[in-house]
Structure 1
Amino acid sequence: MTSFDKPTTTTTNTPQQDGSQDVAPQPDDSRAVTEAALFEAFGGVRGMVETVAPGLLFVTIYTINKDLHISAIAALAVSLVLVAVRLLRKDTVKHAFSGVFGVAFGVVFAMMTGNAKDFYLPGMLYTLGLALAYIITAIAGVPLIGLILGPVFKENLSWRTRNPGRKAAYTKASWAWGLILLTKCAILFPLYWWADTTQLGWVLVSLKIPPFLLAVYLTWVFLAKAPPPIDVFAELEAKDRAKAERAAHAERPEV
């Protein structure tokens, strides 16, 4: 990724009352940390493949033979294979598992109603709910993207009270995610009512990656220009070291 403007942050060491310091990384370090954290949080290339593959397989098979059962079973099977591959490689499985649950809900719903389009409905409702969650939490001052990325950046919720620049960036990013997902819903829900299964499926598959990449890119732009995160874990370690040093100093005999 490349930003339009380099962030203007500089290295600062802010003394704390307990003797610890807030150490801010250099701009290049901050950009690299931001890129790595976003890549980890959203699953990277493999996560995108795991998101797209089941739906792509479903709509491809259904386009060919119009068989709901075979299409649904194939989509669920490829989801389970992706999870199994991650387990064998001892990789993080959260993205693959989320894909399995989403596909399973779609399969069950479509089988219950007998309408192949309903395979996509749970995922569409989830997208709508997620869009509203991003917007509502941004309005409430607790942006969802900050809750997601705070632990990844090792800052937890410190951005809420101690780092207003990052809170503003998280708020902008949450608005971006919410509006992008709402736009996606505005395209898909009319198609659910008016289009046939194959038309809806191909449009939905085509809208899996581009909106996601746009939202991730805008998040990166906002955070790359924001102040660096406060590493609360490093602060706790510094406090523990300072406490141990004071205890050791107190135990030394006076000469």
Structure 2
Amino acid sequence: MTSLDKPTSDTDQPHRTPQQDAEAKAVTEAALFEAFGGVRGMVETVLPGLLFVTIFTINKNLHFSAIAALAVSLLLVVVRLVRRDTVKHAFSGVFGVAFGVVFAMMTGNAKDFYLPGMVYTLGLALAYLVTTLAGVPLIGLILGPVFKENLSWRTRNPGRKKAYAKASYAWGLILLAKCAILFPLYWWADTTQLGWVLVALKIPPFLLAVYLTWVFLAKAPPPIDVFAEMEAEEEAEKARKAAAARGGDRAPEEARGYEG
């Protein structure tokens, strides 16, 4: 068993000082901001839907409202491209808005602009819960590469696996609660009522889920940097080969000296 495969337990983790705890919280906070887009990502998530419901509330024009929402989503992508920023959050927003626009245009029902996003939220909630029950919490799959630990937490870091499981359950239950509010409104409320409630529910549940994830992970054992371990293994292997080569070069010289 190599060092990369060696499992660890919660008791194997060294006791952390208050300064180390503060550093762990800061690292976790930075990783969560990177993974979920931070303040800018939240703005990009809310703005298209807010623009759609605002325009539709004023003039009840489905086509104009939908085109305006799609246009602002594309503009956000262009701004990121010009600034050479990460575009994954903006692109995901464009696809979400595009699906909503197409669906609403096909049915002629303005409420259907929100339906694809609602179905996606429901599917995501179920994914968080099902993957956690299966022993592979989705939040761990998302954040593992961000923390440079990949899937090492599954077998080598049980404390982090527990934290990822708690966080995934939190995400799943929070999103299910959100769906429990939105889907009845889809059937019973009008477009503007549904739209404003949906906009209002964009940020608070997200912030709650991110906060709980931060709490669980900040208290968990630190991640195992598998990339650093692999680099160390490669350097050690190079050193062994170099030592073996030097030993092989000296052998003929020693043999000649013995014969002389």
Q: What is the TM-score of this pair, normalised by structure 1? A: 0.90
Alignment of 1:43-82 (within 5 A): 43-82=37-76
- Alignment-derived partner of residue 222 in structure 1: 216
Task: Find the aligned partners of 2:36 and 2:26 in 1 and give their Cα distance.
Answer: 16
Alignment of 1:85-234 (within 5 A): 85-234=79-228
Task: Find the aligned partners of 1:17 and 1:124 in 2 and give their Cα distance.
Answer: 41
Task: Find the aligned partners of 1:23 and 1:166 in 2 and give their Cα distance.
Answer: 11
SS in 2 for 1:98: helix
SS in 2 for 1:142: coil
Which residue type is aligned with residue 28 of structure 2? T
Q: Which runs of 5+ in 2 are unaligned?
A: 6-11, 255-260
Which residue type is aligned with residue 165 of structure 2? T
Aligned-pair distance for 1:209? 0.1
Q: Does 1:40 align with 2:26?
A: no
- For this pair of structures, how many residues does the alignment match? 238
Task: Find the aligned partners of 1:60 and 1:31 in 2 and give their Cα distance.
Answer: 38
SS in 2 for 1:40: helix
Bigger Rg, structure 1 or 2: 2
Aligned-pair distance for 1:17? 8.7
| Aligned residues of 1:188 and 1:200 also touching (Cα < 8 A) | yes
Task: Find the aligned partners of 1:217 and 1:230 in 2 and give their Cα distance.
Answer: 22
| Aligned residues of 2:13 and 2:221 also touching (Cα < 8 A) | no
| Root-mean-square deviation over aligned CA pairs | 1.8
- Which deviations, in whole Å up to 9, do the C-alpha atoms of 1:35-76 show, x marking residues without a partner? 111000000011000000000000000000000000000000
- Alignment-derived partner of residue 251 in structure 1: 245
Aligned-pair distance for 1:16? 3.8
| Aligned residues of 2:4 and 2:229 also touching (Cα < 8 A) | no
| Aligned residues of 2:76 and 2:90 also touching (Cα < 8 A) | yes
Bigger mean CA deviation after superposition, 243-252 or 78-87: 243-252
Percent of aligned positions with the same letter in both sequences?
Answer: 82
| Aligned residues of 1:23 and 1:230 also touching (Cα < 8 A) | no
Task: Find the aligned partners of 2:41 and 2:151 in 1 and give their Cα distance.
Answer: 26
Task: Find the aligned partners of 2:221 and 2:155 in 1 and give their Cα distance.
Answer: 13
Which residue type is aligned with residue 33 of structure 2? F
Q: What is the TM-score of this pair, normalised by structure 2? A: 0.88
| Aligned residues of 2:118 and 2:179 also touching (Cα < 8 A) | yes
Aligned-pair distance for 1:85? 0.2
Q: Which has the higher helix share?
A: 2
